[in-house]
Amino acid sequence: MNIKEAKDEIQRAITSYLMKDEFGEYRISRVRQRPILLIGDPGIGKTAIMEQIAQELGIGLVSYSMTHHTRQSAIGLPKIETKVYDGQEYMVSEYTMSEIIASVYDCIEETGLKEGILFLDEINCVSETLAPAMLQFLQYKTFGKHKVPDGWVIATAGNPPEHNKSVREFDIVTLDRVKKIVVEPDYGVWKEYAYKKGIHAAITTYLDIKKSDFYRIESTIDGVQFMTARGWEDLSTMIKLYEEQGYKVDENLIGQYIQHEKTAKEFAIYYDLYNKYKSDYQIQNILDGTYSDEIRERASNAKFDERLTLIGLLLESVGEHIRKDVETEDYVTELHKLLKELKMVCERADRNRENIDTILGKYIVARTASYREEKRSSVLSAERETILRKVILAIEGYKNALMQEGVTDLTEGFEYIRKSFGETVAEMKQHLSDTQFMLDNMFRFIEDVFGSGQEMLVVVTELTVNYYSAKFISRYGCEKYFEHNKELLVYERQQELLSEIMLLNDADEIDLSVL
């Protein structure tokens, strides 16, 4: 199965393991809960899905790479205890608590989460001295005498033996006690993830053309050469940073992440071509609706690979604006909720003892503490973390601005905040309008140059599978999208999107009158 299917299967299994009966007992006892064994090629995303599952289920996560552990750190260190048997004292060897089990209890103490996932990566690459203990752990959920706490599900991951010389095969007795899931690379699934993570468009458009270069491990006379999902993602991050600083992105850089000589060379050539097309086609002019006849003619006569790259450039540019709109509205919505609370606090405050500066200071302390607690619990997604940090910064900004203006009165102070928030909403709506204008112009260009052919199919499909554009269209609509979506019979995706639209239509819009 692919990584998305594996994630769904693991999430269903963990949800089932955590179900309780009418007496509050787990319906599947700890002894009968099979540890999850996820087998897949390196860099395929095994660790990432465990983090996502913990966040989505709101449970704890403790993660360890077993290649870094010795028998002592996993099981504990021996200590001598004195015991009495039949009136005779004996010196008995016992063990301190396992570092791994102790980390689970630490997580419970720090986060207050009684349930979670204990994830042990590279489980089949442990040292020879630790191997017997790991087999015992998988069968009985204990390290020595120390048990994994109830409510903590064991999930493990390992690499296939052909990709790691350190791999130890599990015997039938062990395999018959685990829930084994084998994962294979799938570019289509990874691309959905890539959109959400903001992977550089040069990478996704290149892989659209050469899907076979997404994931490959080859043994050659010069040694093993490979490219992985992790390698492409890390390369994307570095390319963006290089571009920001004006550094040259070349084959030397690419080869540090894509350790397959032929692919690194071909992508380096494509990356230069990608940037050339970006300049030649004057992407912003297309999105402004002011492209020339020369641009139209060139696009019309281009080969399909060049057309795909052009579409990728258009989607990338519009996508950056769409992503900003979605993230801004999520942030503004969260800030709006906070300001509604703040208004009620100000109305109830004792004006003789509190001013606007004091109240905002308390809010900053409380929100910062809440944010840190969520982050420690490992249930905080990257999107949620960004929103919370921006809200805290906004409140700090209001507080500093009021101090500079010398405003301390609660009514006057809150009116200043309300006005500032209104300006933020107005800016958001203007940016949204600009994005809708560019999106419409992109569709008009595709219609003008390519009609309703396969290029339009690519555009509609990409907008549908992209997390942010799907969310944007579900919130604000796009007449051209729905028109061509219907024509091209992208039915299943359309139904999912329309269902989300119906749900979101019932949501309250931001109402400044409540502030």
DSSP per-residue string spanning 23-51: TS-BSS-GGGSPPEEEEE-TTSSHHHHHH
Q: Across the strands, what pairs with 225? A: 218
Q: Retrieve residue 514's tokens.
A: 């409540």
**What's the pLDDT score for residue 490?**
47
Whole-prediction pTM value?
Answer: 0.76
pLDDT tens per residue across span 464-515? 888 899 999 988 888 888 888 776 554 455 555 555 555 555 444 555 555 5
What pLDDT, on the 0 to 100 scale, is given for residue 63? Answer: 83
Instruction: In whole angstroms, give the CA distance from residue 22 to residue 121.
Output: 35
Angle between helices 187-197 and 467-476 (to 10 degrees): 70
The Cα 120–Cα 35 span in angstroms is: 10
Widest CA span in the chain: 102
CB burial readout 463-482, b (16+ within 10 A) else e? bbbbbbbbbbbbbbebebbb
24: left (phi over 0), alpha (psi -120 to 50) or beta: left
Distance CA 362, CA 373 (A): 17
Quick: pLDDT tens for 395-406.
Answer: 999 999 999 988
Indicate if the alpha-carbon torsion angle 119, 125, 129, 134 is positive or negative.
positive
CB-based contacts of 403, cutoff 8 Å, min separation 6: 357
List, in order, residues 6 or more apart from 30 with CB less than 8 Å away: 141, 147, 148, 150
Can you give the pLDDT at residue 76? Answer: 62
Is residue 210 within 8 Å of 30, Cβ to Cβ? no
For residue 475, the SS3 value is helix
What is the chain's mean pLDDT, rounded? 83
Q: What is the pLDDT of residue 70?
A: 60
* Residue ranges for the chain with pLDDT beneath 70: 68-78, 93-97, 125-131, 144, 161-168, 171, 351, 376-380, 487-515
Helix (H, G, I), strand (E, B) or coil at 157: strand
Contact yes or no for 61/50 (Cβ under 8 A):
yes
